[in-house]
Structure 1
Amino acid sequence: MNETLASPQTQTYPLSSLDIDSYQQNGHILLREVASPEEVKSYRAAIDEAVAKYNTETRALAERDTYGKAFLQIMNLWEQDEAVRRFVLAKRFAQIAADLMGCANVRIYHDQALFKEPGGGFTPWHQDQYYWPLDTDKTITLWMPLVDITEDMGIIKFASGSHTEGYIDKLGISDASQNFLEEYIQKNNFPISTTSYMQAGDATFHSGWTLHGAPGNNSGTMREVMTIIYFADGAKAIEPDNKNRQADLERWLPGVKPGELAASPLNPLVL
């Protein structure tokens, strides 16, 4: 199986020292054309089909809580579909993740499709690593739209530099996290960074500790985004300190106990 993206372009994505420095300083970076529009088009159909097949959310938007209104969330599609597997395990993406974090090898934590429906609500401020029972700060998420998106569709936003504060959010994605972290961001004068447009195949990468969120989708078009979470090879599982980390340990690190290497069959080494 070829685990790189087939493309007439080079299989690698060149990062400059300025790119890496920017990521290290801000905790996030926007990179253009990480995948070409043609590549994204070739994988989008498989991802959309998998999302439609495995989505279990049937409630109307008005019947959901804030988390439920924020997006349709379908995880680990690489387990279910061969085409999505090639996308998620692409070495080009993994190489970018490793270079930005400054590590030699990375494993997959999990992927997730985040589809924000027309009329879908905002995504509250949060830290991803609140959910992850890992003993390393070298964690990173690729966030890639599968369609061209504009700011009215809910483009991701970041509190630059917030990753340096470590474990801030003990609340999870909720109205409570939004209120607490909005005040925290203002109090600490973290600049808010976003963009007004992303082409299909552009991608942001952000640290597991970087505070981020997204506005609601005020357009009539589904905001189709695919994400992939990576962590440095050699990381160990930690004792969960909240119920979400306990659930993650059981689901994404099956058979791994606290103190053991985070290297279950669901965490393939991709670089």
Structure 2
Amino acid sequence: METTIDKETLLNELDLPYTVSPEAIAFYQQNGYVKLKHVLSQAVIDYYGTIITDLVFRLNTLIKPMEERTTYERAFLQIMNLWLEDAEAKEFVFSKRLAKIATDLMSVQGVRIYHDQALYKEPSGGITPWHADQFYWPLASPNTVTVWIPLQETPMEMGPLAFAEGSQRVEIGRDLEISDESEKILADELQKQNFTVYDAPFDLGEVSYHAGWTFHRAGPNVSNRPRGVMTMIYMDKDQVIMQPRNKYQVADHAKWLNNVPIGSKPQDELNPVLFSY
């Protein structure tokens, strides 16, 4: 009986509205990201973190030794759309609390899920190079946002996310895939244009939201523990599918959007609305 009550509490927390202050919304819209404390309790993170970690190891197919991997492969184990694999993972991914924050930060009427992904940076895992996520997405509007949820306290040595403040508004590097090249070109360019890079540890229960065109990176994991992170990508519920502009967008159009016609909205089966006013 005890477990049922506990589970009920966790599910309630995932639906409970979190009040996003006007200051946080203004900060997000100005800088392209925001970090929010006390968004999730330790109980929620512990419970769902265990489920997510188990799924990562069950579904992971990257088994090459670290020294044989590409820069991208060294950055993290990446498992996507856990919500389609496991009913409890879906409870977490479909959290109304997290989706409402995304809606409020973008000042839209509601959000759909684009897809989720677990990012598991192993001990000795390398850097995540500078990149902007929306390079990969055939989505017409910049109203997209990713919530980045560390599944443990994340000090500097574990490679927390770093953001180039205000970079969502510049056109540089929008044609670069995540690579050694993107790391070098963007590091130089962001420095040249005097972008402030915000890089700080994450407390347990602290999460970040960053816009699709915000440039971000993460350091290596030099600790002896894995850095588990769960992410969900949200888009404005009225988002429109555009003509793919590179091979990755072609692949994304097929995989995450079910090849819906160009110019139409995503469908509810694969991209349901998770929160709406």
TM-score computed with the length of structure 2 as normaliser: 0.93
Aligned equivalent of 1:239: 243
Matched, 1:112 2:111: no
Aligned equivalent of 2:17: 12
Aligned equivalent of 1:266: 270
Aligned amino acid, residue 141 of structure 1: T
2:101 to 83, 89, 96: 96
Aligned amino acid, residue 225 of structure 1: V
- In 1, the alpha carbon distance for the partners of 2:10 and 2:191 equals 41
Question: Structure 1 stretch 160-169 or stretch 73-82: which is displaced more?
Answer: 160-169
Aligned equivalent of 2:222: 218
Instruction: Report the number of matched residues.
Output: 269
Aligned equivalent of 1:193: 198
Change (3 A) 1:255 1:245: closer
Aligned equivalent of 2:256: 252
Change (3 A) 1:166 1:261: farther
Contact 1:28 1:158 (C-alpha < 8 Å) held by counterparts = yes
How large is the RMSD of aligned CA atoms in angstroms?
Answer: 1.8
Contact 2:114 2:271 (C-alpha < 8 Å) held by counterparts = yes
Measure how far apart 1:200 and its partner are: 2.8
Change (3 A) 1:260 1:7: closer
Change (3 A) 1:249 1:4: farther
Aligned amino acid, residue 227 of structure 2: R
Matched, 1:148 2:156: no
Which secondary structure does the structure 1 equivalent of 2:273 belong to?
Answer: coil
Measure how far apart 1:148 and its partner are: 1.3
TM-score computed with the length of structure 1 as normaliser: 0.95
- In 1, the alpha carbon distance for the partners of 2:260 and 2:14 equals 39
Give CA deviations for 1:218-251 in whole Å, capped at 9, x if unaligned: 0000000000000001111111110000000000
Measure how far apart 1:270 and its partner are: 0.4
Structure 1 ranges of 4+ moved more than 2 A: 2-10, 166-169
1:181 to 155, 178, 186: 186
Identity among equivalent positions (%) equals: 43
Which secondary structure does the structure 2 equivalent of 1:181 belong to?
Answer: helix
Aligned equivalent of 1:82: 87
Unaligned 5+ segments in structure 1 are none
Give CA deviations for 1:94-125 in whole Å, capped at 9, x if unaligned: 00000000001100000000000000000000
Change (3 A) 1:42 1:176: same
Aligned equivalent of 1:45: 50
